[in-house]
Amino acid sequence: MSARSQAAPARRAPRAAVPRRGRDGTATRARIEAEALALFAQKGIDGTSVRDIALRAGLSEGALYRHFPSKEELARELFLSHYAALARAICAVDARDVGLAEKLRDVVALACRLFDEEPALFAYLLIHQHDHLRHVPATPDANVVEAVALLLRDAGLTPERAALASAMALGCVVQPAVFALYGRLDGPLAARADEIARAVTGIVEGARGA
Amino acid sequence: MSARSQAAPARRAPRAAVPRRGRDGTATRARIEAEALALFAQKGIDGTSVRDIALRAGLSEGALYRHFPSKEELARELFLSHYAALARAICAVDARDVGLAEKLRDVVALACRLFDEEPALFAYLLIHQHDHLRHVPATPDANVVEAVALLLRDAGLTPERAALASAMALGCVVQPAVFALYGRLDGPLAARADEIARAVTGIVEGARGA
DNA sequence: ATTATGTTAGTGAACGATCACTTACATAAA
DNA sequence: TTTATGTAAGTGATCGTTCACTAACATAAT
């Protein structure tokens, strides 16, 4: 203590020596989001305490509340933003001027890639959909389900047929992902993308033809 | 006190007049299970307190622990017993001496009927699978996934193909159920059973042929 | 018949732990 | 000086669980 106060007056240097934890722009927020996502996916939202998140993000509980108004808001924002991003990616595929089969193949491949590259994110979206689905807007650029349904309607399915077909098509991707999460399916999901896409195409063609 | 001791000696009759809450065989346990299931499905396990369950079942918190060792055990037993019952029902279909298409149609119909008749139960199994799936034995008579996989292997699919095909087949039933839960699909799911069965058959035949 | 003893199923009031969140204060940057 | 970002030490509420005790009934010895 005495050494510090003695050297205090004109000090600037010693700060830089330490790779300061805070004060690095928006990196703190990103770190909080990343750690929260990993913890939420692994232990659940209720199973994860704010202490856990703050600790792993390298700051105090109080500091976390400088970035998010509440744990619930953090969980919701995390879900809604990534869910919307996936929905927009699907819309982008739909917007391209190619055939239905190619669109379906690309959407399936997109989902498989997301699963392989960001398993924690995918698991979070999968497992906690039921906590947040009621807060998702019913627009194709914020809602994966609406995006898929729109794609099918654009391909000529009636809204009624598109509803069931989009459910089954989603199930053909989601459930293999669940299996992969629990170790019932080995290797990257992308390796199965073609077979999944074939099944999805069969379902959609069936719904269009019948 | 004086009135009671006066009438005390030869009393037996007045007991039967009152529909006593306790002492009625195993009804209490069943009531706890039913209320817990409804609450768990609606508000989640963590969102439901032991106080809630006890209140709705018409007894005190302490009494609940005469019937279940802990809230977690109650939740687990609830899941495992019903999950196993569904698995056994699927195995029973598989044991019958009929063709693959008919088996698949019956299993799909079975699941749709369960959803329509006991939505709370189905929702609980669906939403909280991830809390309990790690505790489910990997035998066909306790595990829905194993039961379906066995059915497909019995139909001639290789274990490798059966794994992915059972995932997609399950997805074709589970995801429409999720949609129905969220009001994206109207009416009883049983009304869609035939169309779902057709999709599932297509997937399985595709995996067998390829 | 009465009494002693035991079991089962219940009550309601704690208990200790945990949690989300707040407050008071510090410090560095603008 | 003001603002953004941080820390440390709280706060009150809630939760799962336990505890001491009681009511109702069964059984067997007295």
pLDDT at residue B13, as a whole number: 29
pLDDT at A5 over 50: no
Q: Which B residues in the span 95-124 are in contact with A, Cβ-Cβ below 8 Å?
A: none
The number of residues in chain A equals 210
For residue B26, what pLDDT band results from cuts at 50, 70 and 90? low
Q: Which of A53, A86, A82, A56 is CA-nearest to residue A68?
A: A53
State which nucleotides on strand C lie below 7 Å from a protein beta carbon.
Answer: 2, 8-14, 18-24, 28-29
A13 burial type by CB count under 10 A (0-12 exposed, 13-18 middle, 19+ buried): exposed
Tokens representing residue A105 in the block? 């193949």
B81 sits within 7 Å of strand D by its CB: no
Asked whether residue B15's C-beta has any atom of DNA/RNA strand D within 7 A, the reply is: yes
Digit-coded pLDDT (tens) for A71-101? 999 999 999 999 999 999 999 999 999 999 9
Residue A17 vs residue B197, higher pLDDT: B197
By the 8 A CB rule, do A192 and A112 touch?
Answer: yes
Domain boundaries, chain A: 25-68, 70-209
Residue B11: per-residue pLDDT: 28
Residue B161 pLDDT class (50, 70, 90 cuts)? very high
Q: Which of A163, A172, A210 sits opposite B168 (nearest CB)?
A: A172
B103 closest CA partner among B145, B58, B152: B152
Which protein residue lies nearest to nucleotide D24, measured between its Cα and the C1' atom?
Answer: B23
Using the CA of B24, give the nucleotide whose C1' is nearest: C9
Q: Which of B28, B82, B88 is nearest to B56 (CA)?
A: B28
Rounded Cα gap, residues A106 and A194, in angstroms: 10
How many angstroms separate the CA atoms of B55 and B191, rounded? 37
A206 vs B contacts (CB less than 8 Å): 198-199, 202
Q: How many CA atoms within 13 Å lie on the side-chain side of A180?
A: 24
| CA proximity to B195, closest of A89, A162, A6 | A162
Give the mean pLDDT of A176-188: 96
The verdict on B182 touching A (C-beta cutoff 8 Å) is: yes
CATH fold of the domain at A70-209: Tetracycline Repressor; domain 2 (1.10.357)
Q: Please name the CATH architecture into which domain B79-210 falls.
A: Orthogonal Bundle (1.10)
A29: which residues sit within 8 A by CB, 6+ positions away?
Answer: A67
- Mapping DSSP onto H, E and C, the string for A78-100 reads HHHHHHHHHHHHHHHHHHCCCCH
Q: Return the number of CB contacts < 8 Å for A and B.
A: 98
Residues by CB within 7 A of strand C: list them. Answer: A 12, 15, 23, 46, 48-51, 61-62, 65, 70-72; B 9, 21-23, 28, 54, 58-63, 66-67
Q: In angstroms, rounded to a whole number, what is the distance separating the alpha carbons of residues A136 and A194?
A: 30
At A70 the three-state DSSP class reads coil
Answer whether A79's CB lies under 8 Å from A183's CB.
no
> Residues with Cβ < 8 Å from B151, sequence gap 6 or more?
B90, B93, B94, B103, B107
Residue from A27, A40, A55 nearest A124 by CA: A40
- Cα(A18)–Cα(B125) distance, integer angstroms: 51
Burial class (CB in 10 A: 0-12, 13-18, 19+), B188: middle
Q: What is the pLDDT of residue B210?
A: 72
CA separation (Å) from A64 to A23, A82, A162? 13, 20, 43
A51 touches strand D (CB under 7 A): no
Contact A94, A103 (CB under 8 A): yes
**CATH architecture classification, B25-68:** Orthogonal Bundle (1.10)
Q: List, for residues A17-61, the tens digit of each pLDDT value.
A: 233 344 455 689 999 999 999 999 999 999 999 999 999 999 999
Mean pLDDT of A188-202: 98
Q: What share of chain A is helix, strand, coil (3-state, %, to 5)?
A: 75, 0, 25
Each residue of B105-139: pLDDT tens digit? 999 999 999 999 999 999 999 999 999 998 999 99
**Residue among A164, A175, A210 whose CB faces B170 most closely:** A175
Protein-covered nucleotides on strand D (Cβ within 7 A): 4-10, 14-20, 24-25
CB contact under 8 A, B172 and A168: yes
Amino acid at A22: G
> B164 to chain A: which residues are within 8 Å by CB?
176, 179, 185, 192, 195-196
Residues B69-103 as b or e (16 or more Cβ within 10 Å = b): eebeebbbebbbebbbebbebbbebbeeeeebeeb
Q: Is the CB of B23 under 7 A from strand D?
A: yes
- Tell me the one-letter amino acid at B197: A
